[in-house]
């Protein structure tokens, strides 16, 4: 009898170690576990919470909120099939070996991660499991192509997206996704599990109301989000993706990050929608969207081959760029109080909903790095803590792009103008008014330049909108001068 009073271990059980693959459909580690479980041998799904083993990048506050709800949703999906999710605290290797002993497991299955810490976890587990006489098998559930499968003619990793994408598409369409198993063989008695609440993933003070209103974590939420996108936005995606005032993009990023949906599922659903809709618009939307999934693949390719890039520039010469340290300005940027409405709307969208539109991610990143001359590392850290889709590969690519120091990066001298970007991509000013309540009383695109309103700002919402923390024209010249003098020095 075990400590829970249940029957003893069942020979041949398979532990399914779930990580960033929190779904049942198209989950290769789960499929293989169900297929290979000897007749009557159970599959035991387990998630280990071990933030100490995530190196310098343990999940931030918004990610933890998402993870809590994602684990609850996954447990619900498993229970609907007669299984459940066992939760254990780390350290990972001893926790899993102990669970293997308790359940009499003969094998451990998992899906691979590609971040440095995630890779180290998988490698350590493989060694320890094999020493303990367990079969250890890992699978690819997160990517359309493994990072090592795509290489230049000289066998090196790509550092430019276009040739990467050409090599990627030359491989043909990705494999079709697999449905969820109809049943998951369960043990006669379930091993002990930590209660979800005991992991402490939810904030002690509930600041997550806006995030809760905006999102439904879990596999079912991911499917609903995908269907909405295919019906309402795919055909216009090529243009709509640039408009933060519309729901023109898929908003699948947190679901993809946590593996609540697989890129194969998304890819093939987009292809199906394209063929049902037919016509040039549908093809343009689909091609443009699949290319963005390609950027995700590229980000993982880079992180895998250049694992130091979350903290250090890919172009090493940028390591001594003369960034400024200015905590007050950094805080104004973080809180959406720079005096530039398009920047502030975006930073408040992030704070309120845990997500920000791609166009405005580029604008706020340029503002921090160029107008304020604050290091991209500071921006990456803030995004890491506040985004529900915080993803080490995509975040690193985005911030190094903005900092001019990464693969295929925007050149440092390309400085986004926060006013003209706003007028162009939020032409009626609706996005700004949604998030910057002090400016609710201003009509039309004039909301992007409140300092130019004749007679000054109408008193709105009882709060004063801040003065600009910096003059963009001056800041642009200062950034270019800093670049020139740094280049002259190095
Ligand atoms: C400074 C900066 C930081 C970023 N940090 C993150 C991050 O932490 N997590 C994250 O998922 N994305 C990040 N991105 C990329 C991009 O902004 C988001 O993936 C996108 O806005 C998510 O919205 P969506 O799902 O509606 O995207 P869609 O336009 O619907 O795109 C579909 C999917 O493709 C992928 N994708 C789209 N654009 C990119 C891109 N530029 N790079 C890599 N993958 C992409 C995402 O997985 C996305 O869900 C960042 C971009 C910048 C400029």
Segment 161-189, tens digit of pLDDT: 999 999 999 999 999 999 999 899 999 99
Is ligand 1 within 6 A of the CB of residue 246?
A: no
Do the two domains 143-178+217-305 and 316-489 of this chain adopt the same fold?
no
Q: Is 323 in the active site?
A: yes
Evaluate: CB of 369 within 6 angstroms of ligand 1: no
Determine whether the shortest distance from the Cβ of 238 to ligand 1 is under 6 A: no
| pLDDT at residue 455 tops 90 | no
CA 207 remoteness from chain centre: 20
Is 486 a residue of the active site?
A: no
- Residue 249 contacts residue 230 (beta carbons within 8 Å): no
CB within 8 A of 22, min separation 6: which ones?
A: 47, 70, 71, 73, 74, 218, 219, 258, 259, 260
Which one of 1.10.579.10, 3.40.50.720, 1.10.10.10, 3.40.1180.10 gives the CATH number of domain 316-489?
1.10.579.10
Centre of ligand 1 from the C-alpha of residue 442, in Å: 31
Structure tokens that stand for 312 in this block: 């250090």
**Helices and strands, number each (H, E), in the chain:** 19, 5
Point out the least confidently predicted range of 24-33, 258-267, 340-349, 410-419: 410-419
From the CB of 366, is ligand 1 less than 6 Å away?
no
Q: Are 373 and 330 in contact (CB under 8 A)?
A: no
- Which residue owns the Cα nearest ligand 1 atom 38? 292
Annotated active-site residue in 190, 242, 358, 437: 358
Instruction: Take atom 6 of ligand 1 and give the residue whose Cα is closest.
Output: 395
More confident residue, 41 or 354: 354
Cα torsion 61, 64, 69, 73 to 10°: value is 160
The pLDDT tens digits of the residues spanning 126-161 come to 999 999 999 999 999 999 999 999 999 999 999 999
381 lines ligand 1 (CB under 6 A): no
Catalytic residue, candidates 247, 292, 437, 449 = 292
Which residue among 295, 355, 384, 401 is the active-site one? Answer: 295
Range of lowest pLDDT (57-66, 179-188, 353-362, 378-387)? 179-188
Query: Which H or E run contains 329?
Result: helix 327-334
Which pair of tokens denotes residue 231? Answer: 């019906």
Token pair belonging to 188: 């006669």
Side-chain half-sphere exposure of 115, counting CA atoms within 13 A: 22
H or E segment at 89?
Answer: strand 86-89
Instruction: Give me ligand 1 centre to Cα 165, in Å.
Output: 16
Side-chain-facing half-sphere of 152: CA atoms under 13 Å: 10
Please state the length of the chain. 490
User: What would the mean pLDDT of 223-243 be, rounded to a whole number?
Assistant: 96
**CATH number 3.40.50.620 given to 13-141:** yes
**pLDDT mean over 21-31:** 98
Sign of CA dihedral 373, 378, 380, 385: negative
CATH number of 143-178+217-305: 1.25.40.80
Handedness of CA 134, 143, 36, 82 (dihedral sign): positive
Cα 46 to Cα 19: distance, rounded to the nearest angstrom: 9
Averaged pLDDT score across all residues of the chain: 94
310 is written with which tokens? 């979350």
Q: Is the per-residue pLDDT at 80 higher than 50?
A: yes
Say how far apart CA 201 and CA 355 lie, in whole Å.
18
The question of whether 295 is a catalytic residue gets the answer yes
Structural contact between residues 366 and 338, judged by C-beta atoms closer than 8 angstroms: no
Q: Residue ranges per domain, the chain? A: 13-141, 143-178+217-305, 316-489
Give nearest CA residue, ligand 1 atom 4.
395
Rounded distance between C-alpha atoms, residue 130 and residue 255, angstroms: 32
Confidence of residue 407 (pLDDT cuts 50, 70, 90): confident
Helix pair angle (61-79, 376-386), 10° resolution: 40
358 given a catalytic annotation: yes
């Amino acid at each position: 009898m075990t400590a829970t009073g249940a029957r003893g271990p069942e020979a041949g059980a398979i532990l399914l170690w779930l990580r960033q693959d929190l779904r049942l459909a198209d989950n290769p580690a789960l499929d293989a576990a169900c297929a290979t479980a000897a007749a009557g041998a159970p599959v035991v799904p387990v998630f280990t919470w071990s933030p100490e083993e995530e190196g310098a990048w343990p999940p931030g506050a918004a990610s933890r909120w998402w993870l809590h709800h994602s684990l609850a949703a996954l447990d619900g999906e498993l229970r609907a099939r007669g299984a459940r999710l066992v939760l254990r605290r780390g350290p990972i290797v001893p926790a899993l070996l102990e669970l293997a002993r308790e359940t009499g497991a003969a094998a451990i299955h998992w899906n691979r991660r590609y971040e440095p810490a995630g890779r180290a976890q998988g490698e350590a587990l493989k060694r320890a499991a094999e020493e303990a006489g367990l079969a250890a098998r890992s699978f690819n559930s997160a990517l359309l192509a493994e990072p090592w499968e795509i290489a230049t003619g000289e066998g090196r990793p790509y550092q430019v997206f276009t040739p990467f994408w050409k090599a990627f598409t030359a491989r043909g369409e990705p494999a079709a996704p697999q449905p969820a198993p109809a049943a998951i063989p369960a043990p006669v008695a379930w091993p002990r599990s930590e209660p979800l609440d005991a992991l402490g993933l939810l904030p002690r003070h509930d600041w997550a109301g806006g995030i809760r209103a905006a999102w439904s974590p879990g596999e079912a939420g991911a499917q609903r989000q995908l269907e909405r996108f295919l019906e309402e936005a795919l055909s216009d995606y090529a243009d709509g993706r640039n408009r933060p005032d519309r729901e023109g993009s898929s908003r699948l990023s947190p679901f993809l990050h946590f593996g609540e949906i697989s890129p194969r599922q998304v890819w093939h659903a987009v292809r199906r929608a394209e063929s049902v809709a037919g016509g040039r618009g549908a093809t343009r939307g689909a091609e443009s969207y699949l290319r963005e999934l390609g950027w995700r693949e590229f980000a993982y390719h880079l992180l895998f081959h250049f694992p130091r890039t979350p903290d250090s520039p890919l172009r090493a010469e940028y390591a001594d760029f003369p960034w400024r340290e200015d905590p007050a300005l950094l805080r104004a940027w973080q809180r959406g109080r720079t005096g530039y409405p398009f920047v502030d709307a975006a930073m408040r969208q992030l704070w309120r909903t845990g997500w920000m539109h791609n166009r405005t991610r580029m604008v706020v990143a340029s503002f921090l790095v160029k107008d304020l001359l604050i290091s991209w590392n500071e921006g990456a850290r803030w995004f890491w803590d506040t985004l529900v889709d915080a993803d080490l590969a995509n975040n690193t690519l985005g911030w190094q792009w903005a900092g001019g120091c990464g693969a295929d990066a925007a050149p440092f001298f390309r400085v986004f103008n926060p006013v003209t970007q706003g007028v162009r991509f939020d032409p009626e000013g609706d996005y700004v008014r949604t998030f910057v309540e002090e400016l609710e009383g201003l009509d039309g695109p004039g909301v992007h330049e409140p300092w130019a309103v004749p007679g000054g700002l109408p008193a709105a919402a009882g709060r004063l909108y801040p003065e600009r923390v910096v003059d963009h024209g001056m800041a642009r010249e200062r950034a270019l001068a800093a670049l020139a003098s740094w280049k002259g020095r190095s």
